[in-house]
Amino acid sequence: MRLNIGVIFGGKSVEHEISIISAIEAMANIDDNKYKVVPIYIDKDNTWYYGEHLKDILHYRDIDLVKRYAKKVSLVKRGKSFILESQGFFKKNICVIDMVIPLGHGAYLEDGSLQGYLNMLGVPFTGSNVLASAIGQDKVIQKQLLEKHGIPVCKYVWFYDYEFEKNRKDVLQKIETLNYPLYVKPSSLGSSIGISVVKDEKELLKAIREAIIFDTKIIVEEKVANVKEANISVLGNYEKQTVSEIEEINTNDEFYSFKEKYVEGYSKLCKKDEKANPLVSKEMMEDMKTYAVNTFKVINASGVARIDFLIDDKDKKIFVNEINTIPGDLSSYLWLAKKMKPDELIENLIQIAIRGENKKNEKVYAFPGNLLEKYDILDGKKLNKEKNKDK
């Protein structure tokens, strides 16, 4: 019997369209012999939709048309089953959902919000848990954790939007501890959205105002000199991890921009037998893989993640930039060099989730019975039923 796999994507996020692309790619690579794909699209108003046509990327040229021919749905628990049901006065069961693959990027679908909802229902899902997802989305908390565990990160400061509005002088003094040029970033976004590189205070103020549009928490980092960018994907859970080959980013902009990530291709894989000059030495490659695995383990990630690196090409210094707990296209291109096809990667994700669910079911989360049955709710005193009977 095939499992019904609900693929949830879209969402109220500035990375909405990127999520659609990732989901379409993933759904096309799920083994039809073992699983039935159930596409669940969430629009920018957080309304959920189901329809077989949601698997076709061409339909998303007109989102209104996509929604017109889709059913509004909810994911609910009925007994021990998880049901995708239609909304409206006469609700109908569409199908049972056995497992969910969250494929959202950014707010609500990647930051732990969706994971929390699925966790409360009890629906098994692939990828990281609530806490790891939240940490993966918050660059400030993430860097603080990595620093604590001796994983190198760029020098940075951070502040809230209200601090900038009310105490701009104090914020600027904090930033003065860094050396220009600087990156200014929203703390909780991905896909290079809202990021600026600045060379002086005038550009800094403009960049901060831009970042505040997207987030309440802003991070400012020193730009790495002679910078090269590279990525590694990690697959596994807290017990076992496997790393992909290293991807070198060849960028024409001052950083790997949204346009270069999703409109143009600017990368190559650093293979051990590659004759061309590699980005880093074999020793540095091993260091990067170690940092990638340690980053994955520190936040307790699961499934597949991508760790992004910044490298000072002159001084040969390595910095972890961030971890993405639901990377674009699930980083499937990074695993091809390891002879792992996209369908095999997704199969691994599902099997990791199944093992995780089995492990979870072995733990105690609630005590049987009712500890309050012998307590008087009105005065909080324990009832002595025998004495009460005598009276």
Residue 340 sits in a domain whose CATH number is 3.30.470.20
Considering the entire predicted model, what is its pTM? 0.87
pLDDT per residue as tens digits for the range 343-367: 999 999 999 999 999 999 888 888 8
Does residue 149 lie within any of the structural domains? no
In this structure, are 215 and 248 located in the same domain? no
Q: Is the pLDDT of residue 261 over 80?
A: no
The residues near 359 (Cβ < 8 Å, ≥ 6 apart) are none
Name every residue whose Cβ is closer than 8 Å to that of residue 59 and which is 6 or more positions away in sequence. 53, 65, 66
Report percent pLDDT > 70 for the chain. 87
- Does residue 117 sit in the same domain as residue 40? yes
Residues 74 and 185 in one domain: no
Q: Could you tell me if residue 368 is inside a domain?
A: no
- Average pLDDT (299-322) is 95
Residue 260 pLDDT > 50: no
Alpha carbon dihedral 27, 28, 31, 35, in 10-degree steps, equals: 30
Does a structural domain hold residue 145?
A: no
Q: Which of 65-79, 103-117, 201-215, 245-259 has the lowest mean pLDDT?
A: 245-259
3-state secondary structure of 257: coil
- Nearest Cα residue to 284 out of 306, 308, 317, 315: 317
Residue 274, pLDDT score: 43
250 pLDDT exceeds 70? no
Give the CATH number of the domain where residue 92 resides.
Answer: 3.40.50.20
Identify whether residues 189 and 240 lie together within a single domain. no
Looking at the structure of the chain, the number of domains it has is 3
Digit-coded pLDDT (tens) for 179-206: 999 999 999 875 567 789 999 999 999 9
Does position 263 have pLDDT exceeding 50, yes or no? no
pLDDT value of residue 105: 92
Domain boundary residue, one of 168, 195, 222: 222
Q: What are the start-end ranges of the E strands in 53-150?
A: 71-78, 81-86, 93-96, 99-102
Q: What domain range is 167 assigned to?
A: 155-222
**Same structural domain for residues 233 and 209?**
no
Evaluate whether residue 35 is within a structural domain: yes
